Amino acid sequence: MRDDVRIPTVAAILCMALLHPLLATGADPSKEPQVDPAPCFAAISAGDDDKIATLCTALIDDDMAAKADRIKALIARAAVFSRRDQIDRAIADYDSVLQADSTLADIYNARGELWRKKGDRPKALQDFGAAIKLNPDQQAARANYRSMALELERLGALMAVAGKPSFNCATARRPVEKAICANPELADLDREIGTVNIKVVRDAAARNPRDGRASQREQDEFLARRNALFGHPGYDLMKAMRERLDHLLAIQRN
């Protein structure tokens, strides 16, 4: 017998026997999923936010978890973060979902609602649009897109007139008018008073022409009183204008 030939020990033979099935199939134990998805899914079914936050996080952090399982866990955890008003964390989870599957219209819509809540209207509109593109029948996304577009349009219109009163400052002659033109807050108040008053007068006139004339006469009296009292001790222009706007808004609501 040659000296360099070694007879396998019993332990070596048993080890080889145990490894043989793995070697034959090419399986790698280190690449098997480490987390059972069942507890996470049970927490989702039960609507248990605390358990979703812990059990589904373990599943999400498992790199070898099935793609569909991780997506389900991410969506559930994002919903928990949203309910807890942790908007940035919810958005991050939806980002991960869409990186894994960019065809989920509902997720674009859900993320758009979070962007809207966060105050980022352009991103919200973009996500609502993406949801509609993927699923034109997505009614929630269509409603969100429409309302968001109107809101952006309204904000654009407000920005265009911000700090501008209801009258032309270039022709302002009265001290009170010059004071209003010099103060953006007073200018915005004056414009709002004028806008709401027009609607109040129009609505009143639609009911009865006499009521319409009475409403306009009330506005004229307010302006005359404002012009006469401005600059006198004790007269608060800001307060008077706010009270007038509140009064008009109350009429409009009724």
Per-residue model confidence (pLDDT) at position 152: 72
Helical packing angle, 237-253 and 175-182, nearest 10° = 80
Indicate the average pLDDT of the chain.
85
- Of 171, 177, 175, 181, whose CA–CA distance to 232 is shortest? 175
Number of residues that make up the chain: 254
Q: Is the pLDDT of residue 8 over 50?
A: no
Tokens of 202: 């129009």
Regarding predicted confidence, which is higher, 152 or 96?
96
Distance CA 90, CA 207 (A): 51
Tell me how many degrees the CA angle 73-74-80 measures, rounded to the nearest 5. Answer: 90
Q: Is the pLDDT of residue 18 over 80?
A: no
Q: How confident is the model at residue 99 (pLDDT cuts 50, 70, 90)?
A: very high
Mean pLDDT of 100-127: 92
Mean pLDDT of 109-121: 92
Per-residue model confidence (pLDDT) at position 108: 96
Percent with pLDDT over 90 in the chain: 65
- 11-20, 54-63, 197-206: the lowest-pLDDT one: 11-20
- Of 116, 120, 123, whose CA–CA distance to 147 is shortest? 116
Per-residue model confidence (pLDDT) at position 185: 92
Q: Is the pLDDT of residue 22 over 50?
A: no
Q: Is the pLDDT of residue 12 over 70?
A: no
Tokens of 142: 């269509």
According to DSSP, residue 65 is labeled S
Per-residue model confidence as pLDDT tens digits over 26-46: 445 555 657 899 999 999 999
Distance CA 239, CA 82 (A): 40
pTM reported for the whole predicted model: 0.53
User: Residue 109 carries which side chain, given as an amino acid letter?
Assistant: N
Say which residues have a Cβ less than 8 Å from residue 121's Cβ, sequence separation at least 6. 115, 148, 151, 152, 155
* Structural domains of the chain ordered from first start: 38-160 (1.25.40.10), 169-253 (no CATH)
